[in-house]
Amino acid sequence: MLRFFDLERIDAKKRDVVERTKDFDEIYEVFKPQKAGEQSDRCIQCGDPYCHNGCPLHNFIPQWLKATAHNDLEFAFALSNESSPFPEVMGRICPHDRLCEGSCTLNDGHGAITIGSVETFINEEGFKRGLKPTFSENQIDKKVAIIGAGPAGLSAATFLLREGISVEIFDKQNRAGGLLTYGIPGFKLDKHIVERRVKLLKEAGAIFHQGVEVGSDIAFEELAEKFDALFIGVGATKGRKSGLDGENAPNVYLAMDFLTTIQKKIFDEPRELDIDVRERKVLVIGGGDTAMDCVRTSLREKAKSIKCLYRRDAHNMPGSRKEYINAKEEGVEFEFHSSPKRLILNDDGKVIALEMIKTKLGSPDAGGRQRVEEIAGSEYTIDADIVIFALGFDSVDYPFLASNGIETDKWGGILVDENYETTTAGIYAGGDCHRGADLVVTAVRDGRDAAKAIAKKLIV
Ligand SMILES: Cc1cc2nc3c(=O)[nH]c(=O)nc-3n(C[C@H](O)[C@H](O)[C@H](O)COP(=O)(O)OP(=O)(O)OC[C@H]3O[C@@H](n4cnc5c(N)ncnc54)[C@H](O)[C@@H]3O)c2cc1C
Ligand code: SF4
């Protein structure tokens, strides 16, 4: 260990920029064993590891780095699967720079350990060599219904199965995975990675009911009656509207509708919308990860030009720096300090341009973030064939919550106590429907910790 003196931090290699924009395949390569071992060997094995605290799952990072450096893949695989339901997913898509790697002691000029890439390697190499995560062999006579097969629901299912509790998962989409499947594009996360974990859950006994919407195809009350406990992980995917006149024009889309439609097209599944950006001028409004996914998807869908418009600057973008850099590398144009004022429609009611206004950053708000101020008289227009708004997400108002005594906060997030139990006994919740649109890793933590609390209550 301690090789940070003579070995530099090396990130996973990216595919050639021209090649990678021709398809939806992942852009990062998985480390080869030698590289993973060397990069793990840089770790200084801190007594009080900050990376462990920076990771929302409190993964056993120094321990699996040491095992990787010592070529003990079996132990590294077992450890990394102990606290996480699908480490190879988080290794790919966590904003590491803000979490584990951001907290690494070496992130002070020496270069943080490439924790995410090693985590991906351990699991990809482990699967390649036939390793599998373990589940309980002793079944107990208890069953839990999980509503939503996104990261929160899949995580809850994993940790309940490990306790010997049966699970049935109900999801309105055709495929499991939630936003891992229908939101996050394949160039960040290949869909086979998600399918492999779903298959393992099925082998461990999980029953999936896909294409079943709770509240319309099956009553919530029926599940509450039939199961010993319920976990709600329905996400928060209602796109925030801009509030501008004309936003309902047929060539104006919300980011989630756009990304889901393209993914369904790739899956060759029926879709509610028909969106074609080929040879069109696409404007994406927003500066977060979802906006980056929209611009990079438009590029792969062969749009004529793609511009991302954001009202703050690059430094103040809310998403991951890595994704902004990837988008820039791929040729996306950015226009900062620019905010939409008006959608300009033609006689057919289609948007043909956006009126924008220049902005500047003013005094900080209560949270310390600089406010955006419009610069009077700086309006200008940009032509557009397609406009995509990526302005964040609101909660979905499920009637079955209130009618079953499940209270929500002002935003609409499901209220839970320290055990993830809602205001109705025996009903638990976690992920974006509880905390608001956030991250895969936090949804996964909610699912894991809720499962542990459910097991504690059911196993007496
Ligand atoms: C475009 C995009 C890119 C993102 N990129 C990243 C990233 O790179 N890294 C990262 O960490 N996070 C990312 N996120 C955020 C992350 O995807 C979410 O925080 C996470 O998926 C939340 O998990 P969840 O299980 O709470 O909800 P979801 O993933 O939304 O899953 C909810 C599930 O519930 C189902 N459902 C909803 N209502 C019902 C019902 N009534 N009956 C049955 N089923 C129902 C849905 O079909 C869905 O499968 C991204 C989000 C988006 C939108
Ligand atoms: S789950 Fe995310 S934060 Fe935790 S070790 Fe893995 S990549 Fe880092």
Percent of the chain with pLDDT over 90: 87
**pLDDT value at position 1?**
64
Looking at the chain, the number of H-run helices and the number of E-run strands are: 18, 16
Of all protein residues, the one whose alpha carbon is nearest to atom 41 of ligand 1 is 214
Asked, colleague to colleague, whether 3-128 and 239-392 share their fold, the answer is no
- Read off the tokens for 324: 């902004």
**pLDDT value at position 365?**
86
Residue segments in the chain with a per-residue pLDDT below the cut of 70: 1-2, 5
CA of 55 to the centre of ligand 2 (A): 5
Rounded to two decimals, the pTM is 0.95
Where do we find the tokens 């996964």?
444
CA of 180 to the centre of ligand 1 (A): 7
CA of 94 to the centre of ligand 1 (A): 14
CATH 3.50.50.60 holds for 143-236+395-458: yes
Ligand 1: residues with CB < 6 A are: 93-94, 147-153, 170-173, 178-179, 183-184, 188, 213-215, 233-235, 237, 256, 259, 289-290, 293, 431-433, 437-441, 443
Show me where the domains of the chain are located.
Answer: 3-128, 143-236+395-458, 239-392
| Residue to mutate (ligand 1; options 90, 146, 440, 442; most atoms within 8 A of CB) | 440
Query: How many CB atoms lie under 10 A from the CB of residue 233?
Result: 31
For residues 100 and 439, the answer to whether their CB atoms sit within 8 Å is no
Domain 3-128: which CATH class?
A: mainly alpha
User: Which listed ligand is nearest to 101 at the C-alpha?
Assistant: 2
**pLDDT value at position 195?**
98
**pLDDT value at position 321?**
85
Work out the end-to-end distance of the chain between its first and last CA atoms, rounded to an integer number of angstroms.
44
Report the relative pairing of strands 166-171 and 143-147 from DSSP bridges. Answer: parallel
**pLDDT value at position 370?**
87
Q: What is the pLDDT of residues 53-103, one digit of tens each?
A: 999 999 999 999 999 999 999 999 999 999 999 999 999 999 998 899 999
Fold category of 239-392 in CATH: FAD/NAD(P)-binding domain (3.50.50)
**pLDDT value at position 269?**
94
**pLDDT value at position 51?**
92
* Gap between the Cα atoms of 183 and 294, Å rounded: 10
* Gap between the Cα atoms of 256 and 175, Å rounded: 16
User: Which listed ligand is nearest to 83 at the C-alpha?
Assistant: 2
Closest CA to 179 of 400, 372, 433: 433
289 DSSP 8-state letter: H
Helix ranges, 268-341 (H): 289-300, 321-329
Atom of ligand 2 nearest to the CA of 94: 2
The Cβ-side half-sphere exposure at 14, using a 13 Å CA radius, reads 16
